[in-house]
């Protein structure tokens, strides 16, 4: 009996030794951002870039989120950087109801990759929105998909033409296919991420038009956050939409009305016409802006964060 236990004891000993080795190769440090602290752990491999580059990357992602939400989502968050292995920046994940983000940094990651990265900003946006049930995954992922490029553009980390090229390429993935239901019903990748992003683009445009550019989707998400709707809050979709509408004010209830139309029913959108109104097109493989388009001023405001368009907004169709 005693002899039979020896292999198990040896195995446990080896596991303990390996665990101790992995722990010794991990590192924890803190990054202070305005109004919050991010506790960073790297491992099991050595970070592929210096700590200073990691800190700058984290600070920039936090600044981008603040440019939309007015502040970082939570007072303290954990960020686990899984270092080692192939590739570069990939595999972002945020835990439900917990201020905990994980991102994989492959051994090929460079400081330039961090400067161009969108993953961390996307995950940090999740920290600033409530945790909803599966039928509302489009709300959580759509918000992060739509707001992330705008947030990075506002602080000078993302080129505006690249942003619109990405939207022109990505948003068609969100349109309903034959047999699809509304956003609450069909949970494919395209409908969840890009269908949700299209919902928020439409909401943002309508809010800006109705308010003459004085209010925006930023106000909706700031209102949600002000009512305690960060990742730690398990809310219903209806609670999130109502809080967003209160944040905007004006009595328009844009989010709730748009959801009433698109939640259960598949609604298509003429994206070509929408981009024409925004003054965005392609010519020779390059994005071109038309500053005489009806919503050109709103298009500029989306990426600058300014409150009032330079010209009166056109009435909503």
pLDDT tens readout for residues 95-106: 999 999 999 999
Half-sphere exposure of 146 (CA within 13 A, CB side): 27
Alpha-carbon distance of 309 to 292, in angstroms, equals 13
pLDDT score of 311: 43
Give residue 87's pLDDT band: very low, low, confident or very high (50, 70, 90): confident
pLDDT score of 308: 61
pLDDT score of 313: 41
Among 13-22, 119-128, 161-170, 172-181, which is the least confidently predicted range? 13-22
Torsion angle of C-alpha atoms 67, 139, 127, 157, degrees rounded to 10: -40
The residue that leads in pLDDT, 80 or 6, is 80
All domains of the chain in start order, with CATH: 21-127 (1.10.390.10), 134-217+263-304 (no CATH)
Structure tokens at 235: 């809310």
Structure tokens at 265: 């029913």
Residues 52, 57, 61, CA angle at the centre, nearest 5°?
145
| Mean pLDDT, residues 246-262 taken together | 98
Q: What is the mean pLDDT of the chain?
A: 90
Alpha-carbon distance of 317 to 212, in angstroms, equals 14
pLDDT tens readout for residues 181-238: 999 999 999 999 999 999 999 999 999 999 999 999 999 999 999 999 999 999 999 9
Alpha-carbon distance of 19 to 25, in angstroms, equals 10
Task: Compute and round to an integer the Cα radius of gyration of the chain.
Answer: 22
DSSP state of 250: T
| Mean pLDDT, residues 276-287 taken together | 96
Secondary structure element (H or E) that encloses residue 30, with its range: strand 27-33
pLDDT score of 306: 81
pLDDT score of 85: 83
Residue with tokens 């600070």: 59
Structure tokens at 99: 């201020």
| Mean pLDDT, residues 9-34 taken together | 58
Strands (E), 34-157: 36-44, 76-83, 89-94, 100-105
Residue 258 has pLDDT above 60, yes or no: yes
Taking the model in full, what pTM does it have?
0.89
In sign, the C-alpha dihedral spanning 244, 246, 262, 308 is negative
What are the CA-CA distances from residue 4 to residues 8, 10, 13, 17, 198 (Å)?
8, 11, 15, 21, 62
């Amino acid at each position: 009996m005693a002899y039979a236990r020896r292999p198990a004891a040896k195995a446990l000993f080896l596991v303990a030794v390996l665990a101790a080795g992995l722990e010794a190769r991990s590192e924890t440090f803190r990054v202070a951002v305005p109004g919050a602290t991010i506790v960073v752990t790297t491992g099991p491999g050595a970070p592929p870039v210096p700590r200073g580059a990691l800190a700058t990357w984290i600070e920039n992602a936090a600044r981008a989120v603040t440019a939309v939400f007015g502040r970082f989502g939570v007072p303290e968050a954990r960020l686990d950087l899984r270092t080692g292995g192939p590739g570069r920046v990939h595999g972002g994940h945020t835990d439900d109801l917990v201020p905990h983000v994980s991102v994989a940094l492959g051994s090929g990651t460079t400081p330039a990759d961090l400067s161009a990265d969108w993953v961390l900003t996307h995950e940090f946006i999740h920290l600033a929105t409530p945790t909803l049930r599966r039928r509302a995954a489009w709300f959580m992922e759509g918000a992060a998909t739509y707001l992330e490029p705008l947030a990075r553009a506002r602080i000078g980390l993302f080129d505006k033409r690249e942003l619109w090229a990405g939207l022109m390429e990505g948003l068609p993935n969100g349109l309903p296919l034959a047999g699809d239901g509304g956003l609450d019903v069909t949970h494919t990748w395209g409908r969840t991420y890009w269908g949700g992003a299209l919902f928020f683009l439409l909401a943002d445009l309508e809010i800006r038009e109705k308010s003459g550019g004085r209010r925006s989707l930023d106000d909706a998400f700031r209102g949600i956050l002000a009512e305690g709707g960060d990742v730690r809050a398990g809310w219903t979709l209806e609670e999130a939409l109502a809080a967003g509408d209160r944040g905007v004010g004006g009595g328009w209830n844009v989010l709730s009305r748009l959801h009433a139309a698109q939640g259960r029913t598949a609604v298509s959108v003429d994206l070509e016409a929408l981009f024409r109104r925004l003054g965005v097109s392609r010519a020779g493989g390059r994005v071109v802006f038309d500053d005489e388009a009806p919503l050109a001023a709103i298009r500029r405001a989306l990426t600058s964060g300014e409150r009032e368009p330079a010209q009166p907004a056109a009435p909503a169709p």
